[in-house]
């Protein structure tokens, strides 16, 4: 699967070239909010007027890709929660108006498949269309579906992506279950904070993927996932994926790890970094964007640019550099809240 085009809206200036040119935003906050572009030229205002943030950043990221890439065969989106802001707004209406006459827009926009649905609408795309809501491996699900579609042979070009929004409400809910740090923290200090909890982030990263190409950013070679694993289960899952691709751990020159500053999450990443891929370069990404359930889509966006030779971003994300050449392959490993774990294997 070849990534031939890509776009991201994130807490960094990823929507234009500024981030890749070295312009990094710094945060000292309890949330890292996405930097949104001006959508007026991009999204028909009749659609824009109804959109909550998840839908807006998803459509804002996807529309230029749709416009530039005709003949998309289908759209596959991973989003754990979709438009939660709209969802809870509708819920608040239910309670506050005692189930009286309620405005339907929040309800319609809150369903997670509204993003893939409206991308189809904008692109008049009647191809395969699906939305995965599988928590921390929603984007991994989307990649696997794409790989299957290409192998089945009926599809040549797909739009896939991962999207999540921060709303006050999901922030509250995840805070109540102790997912986030209580204190504000500088992004540069996040990964070494040694306290429980992480920082809440958000964003959309979408990709045009093709089954054949000579001109591409990176290849997605494979994906694997496991839920509630033991360390042994995780190693078995990884080994199986490497074997499937005829690779040894020493063939992986770089790894991109989901370190998120939560002291209770680190040991999983440390195991992969120090026990399995001792010699590989290691990179991080959550110091740029915070943590959310489909952030591996951003990690894929970032890794694709690194494989494609972008250098100026490396200083912000390098953790261990053993080899200064442009990475030939990057293995992304991420888990959300230690429950759902995913691997994404990218190569030149």
Partner 1 sequence: MGKTREEIKVELKKHIVEYLNLLDIKPEEIEDDQPLFGPDLGLDSIDSVELIVLLDREYGLKINNPTEGRAILVDVNTIVDYILENK
Partner 2 sequence: MKVVVTGIGIVSAIGNNVAANETQLKLQKSGIDKAKNFKSRYTNSLNFGEVRLSDSELKKILHITKKGYCRTALLATMAFKEAINHSKLTKSEIESYRTGFISSSTVGGMCNTDELYADANMKGEPSEFIKTYGGGEHTLQLIKDFNIKGFTSTINTACSSSANAIMLGCRLIKAGRLDRVIVGGSDSLSKFSVNGFNSLMILSKEPCKPFDENRDGLTLGEGSGYLVLERSDIAKNKKPLAEVIGYGNSNDAFHPSATSNEAFGPTLAMQRAIESTGIKKLNIDYINAHGTGTPNNDITELFAFNKIFSKIPPYNSTKSYTGHTLAAAGAIESIFSILSMKNNELYPSLNCLNPITKFNNPPIKKKTNITIDTVMSNSFGFGGNCTSIIFSKIK
The binder of partner 1 chosen from 24, 25, 50, 221 (CB under 8 A): 50
Determine contact, residues 94/163, Cβ cutoff 8 Å.
no
Residue with tokens 């999540």: 164
Instruction: Determine, following the binding rule CB under 8 A, whether residue 151 of this chain makes contact with partner 2.
Output: yes
Instruction: Decide whether 93 or 326 has the Cβ nearer to partner 1.
Output: 93
36 secondary structure, DSSP code: P
Instruction: Decide whether 52 or 62 has the Cβ nearer to partner 1.
Output: 52
Instruction: Determine, following the binding rule CB under 8 A, whether residue 87 of this chain makes contact with partner 2.
Output: yes
Instruction: Determine, following the binding rule CB under 8 A, whether residue 91 of this chain makes contact with partner 1.
Output: no
Residue with tokens 């890709």: 65
The binder of partner 2 chosen from 33, 64, 69, 135 (CB under 8 A): 135
Contacts of 7 (CB under 8 A, 6+ apart): 15, 61, 62, 64, 65, 205, 206
Burial class for 314, CB neighbours closer than 10 Å (0-12, 13-18, 19+): middle
Closest CA to 117 of 64, 145, 76: 76
Closest CA to 142 of 346, 347, 344, 348: 344
Which of the listed partners (partner 2, partner 1, none) does 233 bind, with a CB threshold of 5 to 8 Å by partner kind? partner 2
The binder of partner 2 chosen from 145, 164, 202, 253 (CB under 8 A): 145
Determine contact, residues 228/337, Cβ cutoff 8 Å.
no
Q: Which range of residues in 89-97, 187-195, 208-216, 247-255 is near partner 2 by CB under 8 A?
A: 89-97
Cβ 46 to partner 1 shortest distance, Å: 5
Instruction: Determine, following the binding rule CB under 8 A, whether residue 214 of this chain makes contact with partner 2.
Output: no
d(CA 203, CA 289): 8
The binder of partner 1 chosen from 41, 70, 71, 100 (CB under 8 A): 100
Instruction: Determine, following the binding rule CB under 8 A, whether residue 102 of this chain makes contact with partner 2.
Output: yes
Instruction: Determine, following the binding rule CB under 8 A, whether residue 104 of this chain makes contact with partner 1.
Output: yes
Closest CA to 318 of 344, 346, 280: 280
Determine contact, residues 60/205, Cβ cutoff 8 Å.
no
Instruction: Determine, following the binding rule CB under 8 A, whether residue 249 of this chain makes contact with partner 1.
Output: no
Which of the listed partners (partner 1, partner 2, none) does 261 bind, with a CB threshold of 5 to 8 Å by partner kind? none
Contacts of 309 (CB under 8 A, 6+ apart): 326
19 secondary structure, DSSP code: T
Instruction: Determine, following the binding rule CB under 8 A, whether residue 31 of this chain makes contact with partner 2.
Output: no
Q: How many positions of this chain bind partner 2 (CB under 8 A)?
A: 69
Instruction: Determine, following the binding rule CB under 8 A, whether residue 49 of this chain makes contact with partner 1.
Output: yes
d(CA 162, CA 143): 10
Applying CB under 8 A, which residues contact partner 2? 75, 80-82, 87-88, 90-95, 98-104, 107-109, 111-114, 116-118, 120-121, 123-135, 137-138, 141, 144-145, 148, 151-152, 169-170, 172-173, 176-177, 225-229, 233, 236-237, 240, 339-340
Binding site for partner 1 (CB under 8 A): 40, 45-46, 48-50, 100-105, 108
């Amino acid at each position: 699967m070849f990534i031939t085009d890509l776009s991201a809206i994130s807490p960094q200036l990823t929507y234009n070239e500024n981030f890749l040119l070295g312009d990094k935003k710094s945060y000292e906050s309890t949330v890292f909010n996405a930097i949104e572009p001006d959508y007026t030229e991009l999204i028909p205002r009749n659609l824009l007027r109804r959109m909550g943030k998840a839908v807006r950043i998803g459509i804002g990221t996807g529309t230029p890709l749709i416009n530039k890439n005709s003949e998309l065969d289908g759209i596959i989106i991973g989003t754990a929660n979709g438009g939660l802001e709209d969802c809870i707004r509708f819920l608040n209406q239910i309670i506050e108006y005692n189930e009286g006459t309620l405005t339907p827009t929040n309800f319609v926009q809150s369903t997670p498949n509204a993003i893939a649905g409206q991308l189809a609408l904008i692109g008049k795309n009647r191809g395969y269309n699906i939305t995965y809501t599988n928590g921390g491996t929603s984007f991994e699900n989307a990649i696997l579906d794409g790989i299957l579609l290409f192998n089945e042979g009926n599809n040549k070009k797909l739009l896939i992506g991962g999207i999540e929004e921060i709303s006050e409400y999901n922030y509250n809910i995840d805070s109540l279950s102790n997912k986030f740090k209580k204190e504000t923290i500088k992004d540069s200090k996040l990964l070494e904070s040694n306290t429980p909890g992480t920082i809440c982030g958000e964003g959309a990263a979408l990709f045009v993927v093709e089954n054949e190409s000579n001109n591409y950013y990176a290849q997605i070679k494979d994906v694997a996932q496991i839920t509630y694993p033991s360390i042994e289960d995780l190693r078995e899952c990884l080994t199986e994926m490497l074997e499937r691709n005829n690779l040894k751990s020493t063939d992986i020159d770089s790894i991109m790890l989901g370190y998120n500053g939560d002291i209770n999450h680190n040991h999983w990443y440390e195991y992969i970094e120090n026990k399995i891929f001792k010699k590989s370069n290691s990179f991080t990404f959550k110091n740029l964007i915070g943590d959310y359930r489909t952030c591996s889509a951003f990690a894929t966006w970032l890794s694709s640019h690194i494989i494609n030779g972008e250098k100026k971003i490396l200083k912000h994300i390098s953790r261990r550099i053993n080899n200064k050449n442009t990475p030939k392959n990057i293995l992304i490993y991420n888990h959300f809240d230690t429950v759902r774990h995913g691997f994404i294997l990218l190569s030149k």
